[in-house]
């Protein structure tokens, strides 16, 4: 369902656009293609297709997801909970999983409690352009493959790792390198063993003949790699009995092993500097906001005082005029006159009421007097 049997010009154009994005970007970020885990969980076939087939033919499902990964993501563990990298051995030079046992183990893991939160899956055969048959890979695909291969250690340091362990797994360079990476975690002081700590993030599933003594093989793999330092890992993987299909891959990755401690430390340093910059910017913004708040409060206080002075000016200007109009002496009033004025306000004639109101308004200028007037039964207009 949804599978296109032949690539068309639009598909080729989309493929080229995808490849153009697959590069090292600013800030030492590498973009990888990954499979949507939902696609893998429900995939009906015996084994996963190669990358080019998924990219070019599964255009309805669009299972390939682009994920940018830098060393800041690695040391912060940004993708550990949601991203799975698979470490496995190719059973044949042109087919990593001829009998489908690897895909079955992968699907079982994704559907288990340990794999339920996984949203993306990286596995080399389905996520990197393959040259199968030999010579069929385009120049653009070959360049993309080379860029990803150079940075693949980020995946095994910065994600959850599923190790599909068969009897020949421990003789291969790539699988042992991946195992070692999966059993480490990044600290400001470099790589440290993750096995047995809260930072443990690898899972081992024994397949093929290794399944018969799975506990033994799992224990041996952990004992071989869990506590090795970068220097020890480099020395072990350099030996000629650790085989690799392409010697150039081994030559490319071995120097990186020795440099991993420094790389991780540098990433932590970059994060620390970034956090310090963010903190300084935040403190500066807070200081500006505080100064603006103080200024706003000062303006508001000045406005309130101006309003009060304006009201006072009106009161001392308007009330004497009213009092003079009705013959009320300004200096002759006191709070002792309130009861009489209240009586005039409630029971006198119109002129008496207006005189009483004017007198009470004068006496009610202060809050305390206003309360007293109110208690006496008078309403003193301001």
Q: For residues 269 and 265, what is the distance between their CA atoms, to the nearest angstrom? A: 6
Distances (CA, A) of 82 to 40, 85, 104: 14, 10, 20
Q: For residues 167 and 162, what is the distance between their CA atoms, to the nearest angstrom? A: 16
Distances (CA, A) of 360 to 39, 44, 309, 329, 341: 85, 93, 20, 13, 7
At residue 145 the predicted structure's pLDDT band, cuts being 50, 70 and 90, is: very high
Q: Which two tokens stand for residue 269?
A: 């340093």
Strand 190-193 and strand 120-122: pairing? unpaired
For 368, other C-beta atoms within 10 Å of its C-beta total 9
For 374, other C-beta atoms within 10 Å of its C-beta total 12
Predicted confidence (pLDDT) per residue in 243-256, tens digit:
998 899 899 899 88
For 364, other C-beta atoms within 10 Å of its C-beta total 23
Q: What is the largest CA-CA distance in the chain?
A: 120
For 57, other C-beta atoms within 10 Å of its C-beta total 17
Higher-pLDDT residue of 276, 236: 236
pLDDT at residue number 64: 96
Higher-pLDDT residue of 335, 121: 121
Predicted confidence (pLDDT) per residue in 217-239, tens digit:
999 999 999 999 999 999 999 99
Does residue 72 carry a pLDDT above 50? yes
Q: For the whole model, what pTM was predicted?
A: 0.68
The residue-averaged pLDDT of 272-298 equals 75
């Amino acid at each position: 369902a949804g599978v296109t049997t032949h690539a068309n010009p639009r598909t080729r154009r989309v493929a080229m656009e995808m490849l153009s994005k697959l590069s090292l970007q600013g800030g030492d970020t590498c973009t990888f293609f990954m499979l949507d885990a939902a696609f893998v969980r429900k995939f009906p076939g015996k084994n996963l297709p190669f990358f080019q087939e998924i990219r070019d033919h599964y255009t309805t499902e669009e299972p390939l997801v682009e994920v940018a990964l830098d060393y800041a993501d690695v040391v912060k563990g940004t993708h550990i909970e949601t991203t799975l990298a698979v470490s496995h051995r190719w059973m044949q030079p042109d087919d990593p999983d001829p009998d489908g046992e690897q895909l079955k183990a992968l699907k079982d893991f994704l559907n288990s409690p340990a794999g339920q939160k996984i949203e993306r899956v990286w596995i080399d055969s389905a996520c990197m352009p393959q040259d199968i048959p030999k010579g069929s890979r385009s120049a653009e695909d070959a360049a993309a493959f080379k860029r990803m291969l150079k940075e693949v250690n980020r995946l095994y340091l910065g994600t959850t790792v599923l190790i599909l362990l068969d009897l020949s797994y421990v003789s291969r360079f790539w699988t042992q390198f991946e195992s070692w990476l999966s059993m480490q975690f990044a600290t400001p002081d470099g790589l440290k063993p993750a096995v047995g700590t809260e930072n443990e993030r690898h899972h081992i599933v024994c397949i093929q003949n290794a399944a018969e003594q799975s506990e033994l093989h799992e224990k041996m793999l952990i004992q071989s790699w869990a506590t090795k330092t970068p220097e020890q890992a480099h020395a072990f993987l350099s030996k000629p009995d650790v085989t690799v299909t392409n010697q150039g891959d081994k030559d490319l990755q071995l120097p990186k092993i020795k440099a991993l401690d420094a790389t991780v430390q540098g990433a932590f340093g970059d994060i620390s500097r970034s956090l310090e910059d963010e903190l300084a910017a935040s403190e500066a913004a807070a200081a500006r906001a505080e100064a603006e708040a103080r200024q706003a409060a000062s303006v508001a206080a000045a406005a309130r005082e101006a309003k009060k002075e304006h009201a006072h000016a009106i009161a001392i200007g308007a009330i004497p005029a009213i009092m003079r109009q009705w013959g009320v002496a300004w200096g002759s009033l006191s709070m002792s006159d309130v009861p009489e004025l209240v009586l005039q306000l409630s029971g006198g004639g119109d002129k008496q009421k207006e005189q009483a109101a004017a007198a009470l308004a004068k006496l009610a200028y202060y809050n305390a007097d206003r309360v007293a007037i109110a208690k006496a039964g008078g309403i003193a207009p301001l």
